Amino acid sequence: MITSDNYVALSAILFGIGGVGFLVRRNVLVTLMSIEVMLNAVNLALVAFNRARPDNLTGQMFAFFLIAAEAAEVAVGLAIVLSLFRIKRTVRTDDADLLKN
């Protein structure tokens, strides 16, 4: 039987993978992609819970809005990456230390 905890466990695993990728990788593009992974994991958990309690469609709606917000975030994030590249000619987050000290 596939119950909700299967999906939640999968969501946790994906979230963990995404989080580790975010913290470890230094390439800013990979960092953004890891954020995508994390958000997808959250979406999965939401929809799974909604399926377990199908009184209303709140979970799916939430996930829908998450997708929309996340799309906006990716757009702006990539614009920032482009600006960073224009200034520093690098995609490494280590080099984005203009606010140091």
Partner 1 sequence: MGAQILSLFPAANFSLIAVILALPLLGAFVNGVWGKRLGNDAVRVMALSAVGGSFLASVVTFIALASHVDAHIEGDHHEHVKLAWTAWQWMHTKAGFTGGNIPIDVRFSVDALSGVMMLVVTGIGFLIHLYSTAYMAEDPGFARFFAYMNLFIFAMLTLILADNLPVLFVGWEGVGLCSYLLIGFWYEKMPNAAAGKKAFIANRVGDFGLICGMFLLASYTGALDWTGIANGIGSLKDTTQDAYLIHVWPVGGGQYQGIFSFLQPHNPLTITAATAVGLALLLGCTGKSAQIPLYVWLPDAMAGPTPVSALIHAATMVTAGVYLICRLSFVFTLSPFVMMLIASVGAATALFAATIALVQNDIKKVLAYSTISQLGFMFLGVGVGAFTAGFFHVFTHAFFKACLFLCAGSVIHAMHARVHDDERAQDMRYMGALRKHMPITYWSFFASTLAIAGCPLTSGFFSKDEILYRSWVDHSVNPFADVLTRQKLEMFVPPQWLGPALYVVGVLAATLTAFYMFRALFMTFWGDEFRGWTIGRPSLVAAHASDDHDHHHDDLSVPGAAPKESPWQMTVPLIILATCAVVAGLIFNAGPINIPALHSMDHWLEPVFEPVARTVRLSEGAEGLTWPLAGGGILAFIIGTGVAYWMYIMEAGRPAEALADAAPGLYRLLLDKWRIDELYDATIIAAVDALADTSAAFDQTIVDGIVAKVPALLVSLFGSILRAFQTGVVHVYAAFMVIGLAFFGWFFVFPHPAATVTAVGKDTGDYIVTAAPGMGYQYRWDADGNGQFDSERTSDQMSVKVHLDEGKTQNVRVEATSAFGFSNSAAIPITRAASVKPMQLGLN
Partner 2 sequence: MVWVGQVYFYVCAAVAILGAVATIVSRNPIRGAMGLLLMIVSIAGLFLALNAQFLAAIQLIVYAGAIVVLFLFVIMLLGPSSMAPRDKRGLVGRAIGGTVFGIAVADALWLTRHVVGMPMRELDASFGSIDAFGHTLFSDGIVPFELSSALLMVAVVGAVAVARGKQGEEAHTPPSGQPGLAGVATSGTSPASGFADVRATRLEGHGHSK
Report the site for partner 1 in 6-45 (rule: CB under 8 A). 19, 22-23, 26, 31
- Annotate 77-96 with DSSP letters as a single string: HHHHHHHHHHHHS--BGGG-
Binders of partner 2: how many residues, by CB under 8 A? 74
Map the footprint of partner 2 across residues 17-56, applying CB under 8 A: 17-21, 23-27, 29-30, 32-34, 36-37, 40, 43-44, 47-54, 56
Binders of partner 1: how many residues, by CB under 8 A? 13
Angle, in degrees to the nearest 10, between helices 58-88 and 28-52: 180
CB of 73 to partner 1, least distance (A): 15
CB of 78 to partner 2, least distance (A): 5
Is the separation of the CB atoms in 43 and 68 below 8 Å?
A: no
Which of partner 2, partner 1, none binds 97 (CB below 5-8 Å, type-dependent)?
partner 1
Interaction between residue 100 and partner 2 (CB under 8 A) = no
Q: Report residue 86 as tokens.
A: 């224009």
Buried b / exposed e across 66-93, counting CB within 10 Å, b at 16+? Answer: eeeebeeeeeebeeebeebeeeeeebee
